[in-house]
Chains A and B, each alone.
Chain A
């Protein structure tokens, strides 16, 4: 039984993605009989290439995706190199999971309000000492270079990459290596960069690629923070798919295929960058320089992650303030009055979406965790090397959502599956599963096999050893993986909206629908609820193992 699980899992992930892509590929070349597209043609591509600003859109998606990933990775690497177990380092590490839990849209809203000319930061220095009585007319959010979007993405990606690195680190026996390097006279930060990083990077490469794919095609954050004239490619695609001029769907499909190409190009660009850095750093790694630049790197490492975390926190505080704000105008730093109206009025509307959100997240994560654990257990029993098939698992993360979800809806209709709750759950599982696998895989493989050998030598069956020894030992990383899964599910917008025909209302779809109305106070309420939900999962993941007295292992430390 167990041996069929990997195949089942891969089929579950690969079939929907390829079916969805197929249903986008056909109209991209003019075939969509219901709209009169009876034969293949290149007309959709001609229409696409004549769109104003198309190449700028492509450039935004490409550069903001690469730049944000590079920046986030740099922050994480420098922090890990510089963090040597001080109080600040430990608190920052603890802050990571909650930051990861906040949905992208909520971070984007908060961040936009933080940096806008009329936002919190400007209010902090107004009217004194800036002299601004009214907000300066400066293009900061939605800037034409996509910088706001890039930094917004960094806020979300740095915590994810840090969590993935922390999960991978223990198997490198970093402490021993560092001790050795330091005994040879290397400064701690330099020692980490020269001794640990080269072996750590291969372990977090897939998550990095997933981040690039996400960042090049993100919709919700780009809607809020991204450039406008034109937008990023993904936002334009959404607009074309939803255009009342229905014939634009041909062009939209072509654009979705183009998006796939852009993401692929970004991945290849990153890979080339890897090769380049690898080549260029060879000399530095072996030149024997032990201290040069250590102090600067240490300060930069701690400072940049602290700044990232602080920005995300300040963004949340801004949202919280708005959710209880009475009239609040620039340059007042605090609202004139605090009221509970917004919460009271939303309370009645909150109940049903909360239940739906919870049901979807729990079922999708439960299913995903079950499959992942079964696959990992199979891998252990068969002594398989995990690498190759892994790439298929990441397909839903590497192929941009916007490129295949529209097609997936059509494909589902085709085989008579109507939009409904179970379809949404299946759709969520598509994205939850890879993340659960990412979070749990390393801890699972790292667990000392002697525990199970001892158990079996005492006459315990393999299955019993699994339940009685392995699972309890892995409780902490398992709960963390579940929490990550819940957070991923709760944050999903596009799959919920498309696969549920809009009938399945979650906290996230409500928040995005309200966002189009622009009422910051209500957005504040819903974004806080949206951010608070996954937090519950992480708090349970952190406290339950301690409370049960389970061993402290793996990434939940």
Chain B
């Protein structure tokens, strides 16, 4: 048996050596300063848009976008549904590894946070392009730094903002009278209601966000969290977090011996009656779930008193995309008042707009006026208190430390 892997290693090495390409010129990128030219080039292109496909509403919205792009710009949009965004990062890397520098399989990625940081670090993104999109100015970046910052990293035009998310708690008002209003209160609540709350297993995105939320509330080291983790004493800053979790876990769902898989999984457990308090990264999640029979109508949403973590999510173009013009036209359309208003409506998706709505002209503002507020949704003014994301290195460090502590050896 030994000889076969060895043989194949030899074959593979030979293949590697043979295929080393000469330095290929980067694919002719569209000149972003001439928007008309970009649109002309985009016409007729097919844009492969890699975006998480786990939510039917997101998928429906992207399908609507695809129709608009076809009708208005002659761009065909194919939604490549991912179960995990990082697999798209891995794919671009694989292509770079194989010397595929201009025929990549991905034209646009829905991305943010550590995935973006990783792609930037490995030089896998095309740009800067975002600031040249005609609609980008509608986000009023000078006054809204969150649309040009991703987990403390400047986007430098390598990502174009798409929507906003923020941790939002929800509970069944028929079962719970006074839901906890802070991370400390949550511990007390869990002790009184054992097995009724949980958070997704690390390294899930939503679960990791919960760790950061708790860390921000439990430590007074706010400044340190916004610098690379190497610059501060990780053990000391996170000590209160681990003490808190050690105390919390025995009172969680399944006594903390297992954790749900993902944010949406919390919703399913809530729907089964296994949890009575949960949270989501999408403020409208609970209302939407009620409309789709997943949660009882008595569900209500709220954010913690001192605010919750929020962030902006983006779209980015891989460096080897063969359809950059189409991808830029799509990114620009996603920022149009029409597309943003559609996305924000509960019937479509319920994802918050990144546009500076008060700066828009009247007719565009009117697009965002929603009808009656859904009783399970968060009141509009509840999201004013948003905490910023720590530096991405904290997320990775927290994940590793959590796994080290709580995975059974």
Contact = CB atoms under 8 A, between A and B. Distances in A.
Interface of A: 18-19, 21-23, 25-26, 32-35, 52-53, 55-56, 116-118, 134-135, 137-139, 142-144, 227-230, 239, 241-246, 249, 264, 325-331, 339, 341, 345-346, 349, 406-407, 409-411, 413-416, 418-419, 497, 501-503, 505, 509-510, 512-522
B56 A35 contact: no
B114 A244 contact: yes
Interface centre among A23, A505, A519 (most CB of B within 10 A): A519
Contact of B403 (A35, A52, A518): A52
B407 A242 contact: no
Interface residues of B, number: 84
B23 interface: no
B184 interface: no
A277 B366 CA distance: 78
A406 B19 CA distance: 18
Contacts of B95: 413
Contact of A22 (B8, B94, B268, B271): B8
B232 interface: no
B12 A411 contact: yes
A515 B54 contact: yes
Nearest to A335: B293
A239 B203 contact: yes
A487 B63 CA distance: 29
Given A18-B7, A118-B272, A53 B408 contact: yes
B50 A502 contact: yes
Given A22-B12, A56-B409, A228-B258, A242 B93 contact: no
A32 B98 CA distance: 10
Contacts of A244: 85-86, 89, 114-115, 117-118
A502 B93 CA distance: 15
Contacts of B294: 327, 519, 521
A204 to B, nearest CB: 23
Nearest to B52: A516
A509 B56 contact: no
B265 interface: yes
Contacts, number: 228
A142 to B, nearest CB: 5
Given A26-B16, A228-B259, A242-B89, 15 more contacts: A25-B12, A35-B93, A137-B195, A139-B257, A229-B258, A229-B406, A243-B90, A244-B118, A339-B293, A409-B94, A413-B98, A501-B48, A503-B78, A518-B264, A519-B292
Nearest to A493: B83
Given A53-B408, A510-B53, A519-B56, A414 B98 contact: yes
B108 to A, nearest CB: 13
A26 B81 contact: no
Contact of A228 (B59, B194, B201): B201
Contacts of B63: 349
Contacts of B100: 413, 418
B238 interface: no
Nearest to B264: A518
A48 to B, nearest CB: 14
B274 A26 contact: no
Nearest to A503: B80
A509 B268 contact: no
| 9 smallest beta-carbon distances between A and B, as pairs | A413-B98, A517-B54, A22-B12, A22-B8, A518-B264, A516-B54, A118-B272, A137-B195, A513-B53
B2 to A, nearest CB: 12
A382 B106 CA distance: 50
B300 interface: no
Interface centre among B11, B63, B97, B194 (most CB of A within 10 A): B97
A505 B94 contact: no
A21 B59 contact: no
Nearest to B408: A229
Given A35-B97, A242-B86, A246-B90, A137 B81 contact: no
A421 to B, nearest CB: 12
A144 B54 CA distance: 26
Contacts of A227: 258
A520 B268 contact: yes
B398 to A, nearest CB: 13
Interface centre among B7, B78, B118, B253 (most CB of A within 10 A): B118
B191 interface: no
Given A246-B122, A518-B264, A52 B273 contact: no
A249 B56 contact: no
Interface in B90-124: 90-91, 93-100, 103, 105-106, 114-115, 117-118, 122
Contacts of B93: 34-35, 246, 249
Contacts of A520: 268, 271
10 contacts: A19-B11, A25-B9, A239-B203, A246-B90, A409-B94, A413-B99, A414-B99, A517-B54, A517-B56, A519-B294
Contacts of A144: 257-258, 408
Given A53-B407, A411-B12, A516 B97 contact: no
Nearest to A29: B9
Contacts of A410: 94, 97-98
B404 interface: yes
Nearest to B97: A34
B30 to A, nearest CB: 22
Contacts of A138: 254
A503 B408 contact: no
Contacts of B237: none
A139 B53 CA distance: 29
Interface centre among B16, B63, B78, B259 (most CB of A within 10 A): B16
B88 A502 contact: yes
B5 interface: yes
A521 B54 CA distance: 13
B273 A19 contact: no
Contact of B9 (A22, A228, A264, A512): A22
Contacts of B122: 35, 246
Interface in B114-158: 114-115, 117-118, 122
Contacts of B267: 518
Contacts of B98: 410, 413-414
B408 A518 contact: no
B268 A518 contact: yes
Given A241-B90, A249-B90, A137 B255 contact: yes
B296 interface: yes
B359 interface: no
B81 A415 contact: no
Contacts of A505: 80-81
Contacts of B304: none
Contacts of B201: 228-229
A502 B81 contact: yes
Interface in B252-281: 253-255, 257-259, 261-262, 264-265, 267-269, 271-274
Given A135-B273, A521-B292, A521-B294, A52 B409 contact: yes
B15 interface: yes
